[in-house]
Structure 1
Amino acid sequence: MKLERLISIIYKLLNREVVSATALAEEFHVSPRTIYRDIDVICAAGFPIVSYQGMNGGYGMMDGFKMDRSLLGSYDVASLVTVLGSLSSVFEDERAQGTIDRLQAIETEHRIPGLAVDLETRRTEPGALPRLRAAIAERTVVRFDYINAKNERTSREMEPVRLLFKHREWYVYGYCRARRDYREFRLSRMLHLAPTPDTFQPHQEAPNETAWTDGAWQEKVESVVIRVGPEGLAEAMDQFSRADKQFHADGGMTIRIPVYQPLQARWLWSILLSFGGDAEVLEPRALRGILKERLQSALKHYEEV
């Protein structure tokens, strides 16, 4: 612990002009006297630390002292700092800030960041990401309730393996004890997530996704054609950015996307219904019928309005 503190202090002094002993003591939860002893040890190791007196006094590294910057270029450092900064915020991880301090110490110059990464999401239960990350590191079994795509609620116990951020959502991949196999769960559908006293040893990890080797899945992919009005253009670009697009003179567009089993793809239904009158499904015809039924079902709740 002392060694980690000494290393952290060295990098902080390299990154900042002057840091007071009081500020360092508060950050590392030790007394100012301990910081004074740490500074003496760092000086004895050959680092040229200077003491500054006065109201804004403290400790700093002698002007002109630099670390070896040959390991990483400024582009690499800036990118890593940006990503680590977002991870530090999402996972409430103070250790990531220590890594940022060390990286910034080898940056050739301070500049305005040209990259910003935001991994925050409002769809996850507060504290779920740090709890899952801790469970992965400590190999602790977690328990939670889960709402699946069929709107069924079940209780699960899982041996978490890794967290994934994809399609603007957080997922956790691990061994589901109820299904006795590896599964992927979306965090937004998890409730009452909590660690258990049980720990686990890794299984022979199965593939994350089922491998389709016979091409059978291709037979179930259909083209969905959607006509989008001018008022829904921006939303459609966000939701279907990879679709084939044909723009029209009135400001709207027609898009064509391949979808696996669109008549069972509830995720697609939800997106299309969210457009209201700004989008119309042209193909397949059966999907039009499904959306019509869901709209009529929703209208029953508002007949008296």
Structure 2
Amino acid sequence: MKLERLISMIYKLLNHEVLSASMLAEEFQVSPRTIYRDIDVICAAGFPVISYQGNKGGFGIMDGYKMDKSLLGSYDVASLITVLGSLSSVFEDERAQGTIERLQTIGTEHQTPSLTVDFETRRTDPDALPHLRTAITERIIVRFDYINAQNERTTRDMEPVRLHFKYGNWYIYGYCRTRMDYREFRLSRMMNLFLTRDTFQLHDEVTKEAGSSNTAWQDQVEEVVIRVGPEALAEAMDQFHQMDKQFHDDGSMTMRIPVYRPLKARWLWSILLSFGSGAEVLEPIELRSILKEQLQNTLKLYEVI
């Protein structure tokens, strides 16, 4: 622990002009006397620490002294700092903040950031990500209520393995003790999450996509063809950017979207209905009937009583 404290102190001194002994003592939860001893050790190791006297005095590193920049270029450092800064704010991770301070010592001063990252968390419980990160690190079983794609509510016990951020949403992957298999859960559908007192050992993961199951999955992919009006082009591009597109002279667009079991894909129905009159499903015909029924059911809710 002492070595880790000394290393952290060195990087803090490199990133600040002056730090008082009391400030460092509070930061590292030790006495000022311990800080003075640590400073002596740092000086003995060859770091040019200067002592400043007075009310605003403290310790600092000699001007012009910098860490070796040969390991990473300024572009690499700036990108890493940006990503780590976003993760640090999401997970409230002090270790990530410490890494940022170390990277700043080899970065280019006063460089204008060319990259920003926003890991949006408004769709999740603000405590969910830090709790799950802790559970993954310490291998603690978590329990939560979950609403699946069929709108069924169940309680799950899970051995969390890793977090994903994809398609603008956070997901947790791990071994579901309720289903006795590996599952992936979307955080926005999780409720009442808490860490139990039970721990676990990692299982041997089995990749479901291997072998014949992958072929079976591909066999159930069907192409959905939609005609998008000029007023809904931006929304459609946001949702299906990489899909096959054909633009027409009247400003409309035809999109071809491969979807796994589209007649069961409620997520797809929601997106298509959100376009309103700006998009029309051309194929498959059965999907048109499903959307029509969904619209009729919605209209019934607003009929005058």
Q: Which residue does 2:99 correspond to in 1?
A: 99
Q: Which residue does 1:37 correspond to in 2?
A: 37
- 1:227 Cα deviation after fit: 1.5
CA contact (8 A) 1:140 1:195 kept: yes
The CA distance in 2 between the partners of 1:106 and 1:68, in whole Å, is: 7
The CA distance in 1 between the partners of 2:253 and 2:158, in whole Å, is: 44
> Which moves more between the two structures, 108-117 or 236-245?
108-117
The CA distance in 2 between the partners of 1:201 and 1:216, in whole Å, is: 32
Amino acid at match of 2:93: D
Q: Which residue does 1:180 correspond to in 2?
A: 180
Amino acid at match of 2:236: A
The CA distance in 2 between the partners of 1:24 and 1:277, in whole Å, is: 62
- 1:58 Cα deviation after fit: 3.1
Q: Which residue does 1:230 correspond to in 2?
A: 230
The CA distance in 2 between the partners of 1:3 and 1:44, in whole Å, is: 14
CA contact (8 A) 1:69 1:108 kept: no
- 1:29 Cα deviation after fit: 3.4
- 1:212 Cα deviation after fit: 4.4
- 1:208 Cα deviation after fit: 6.0
The CA distance in 1 between the partners of 2:248 and 2:121, in whole Å, is: 34
Per the alignment, do residues 106 and 286 of structure 1 end up closer, same or farther by CA in structure 2, a change over 3 Å counting?
same
> Which moves more between the two structures, 224-233 or 246-255?
246-255
SS of 1:205's equivalent in the other structure is coil
Total equivalences in the alignment: 305
The CA distance in 2 between the partners of 1:55 and 1:234, in whole Å, is: 59
CA contact (8 A) 1:74 1:107 kept: yes
Amino acid at match of 2:70: S
Amino acid at match of 2:7: I
Q: Which residue does 2:112 correspond to in 1?
A: 112
Per the alignment, do residues 194 and 209 of structure 1 end up closer, same or farther by CA in structure 2, a change over 3 Å counting?
farther
Q: Which residue does 1:17 correspond to in 2?
A: 17
Q: Which residue does 2:122 correspond to in 1?
A: 122
Match status 1:278 vs 2:260: no
The CA distance in 2 between the partners of 1:197 and 1:249, in whole Å, is: 63
The CA distance in 1 between the partners of 2:209 and 2:125, in whole Å, is: 25
Q: Which residue does 1:134 correspond to in 2?
A: 134
- 1:31 Cα deviation after fit: 4.2
SS of 2:14's equivalent in the other structure is helix
SS of 1:304's equivalent in the other structure is coil
Q: Which residue does 2:297 correspond to in 1?
A: 297
Match status 1:58 vs 2:58: yes
Alignment of 1:124-273 (within 5 A): 124-207=124-207, 209=209, 211-212=211-212, 215-273=215-273
The CA distance in 2 between the partners of 1:208 and 1:84, in whole Å, is: 32
Amino acid at match of 1:113: P
1:149-184 residue CA offsets vs partner (Å, 9 max, x unmatched):
111111111111111111111111111111111111
Amino acid at match of 2:83: V
Gaps of 5+ in 1: none
The CA distance in 1 between the partners of 2:3 and 2:243, in whole Å, is: 54
Amino acid at match of 1:261: R
The CA distance in 2 between the partners of 1:57 and 1:172, in whole Å, is: 48
SS of 1:299's equivalent in the other structure is helix
Gaps of 5+ in 2: none
Q: Which residue does 1:3 correspond to in 2?
A: 3
Q: Which residue does 1:77 correspond to in 2?
A: 77
The CA distance in 1 between the partners of 2:17 and 2:110, in whole Å, is: 13
Per the alignment, do residues 25 and 214 of structure 1 end up closer, same or farther by CA in structure 2, a change over 3 Å counting?
closer
The CA distance in 2 between the partners of 1:123 and 1:265, in whole Å, is: 21
The CA distance in 1 between the partners of 2:163 and 2:145, in whole Å, is: 18
The CA distance in 2 between the partners of 1:214 and 1:100, in whole Å, is: 41
Per the alignment, do residues 129 and 214 of structure 1 end up closer, same or farther by CA in structure 2, a change over 3 Å counting?
closer
CA contact (8 A) 2:245 2:253 kept: yes
Amino acid at match of 1:91: F
% identical equivalent positions: 74
> Which moves more between the two structures, 247-256 or 141-150?
247-256
Q: Given the two structures, how large is their TM-score scaled by the length of structure 2?
A: 0.93
Q: Which residue does 1:89 correspond to in 2?
A: 89
> Which moves more between the two structures, 281-290 or 30-39?
30-39
> Which moves more between the two structures, 146-155 or 213-222?
213-222
Name the Cα RMSD after superposition: 1.9
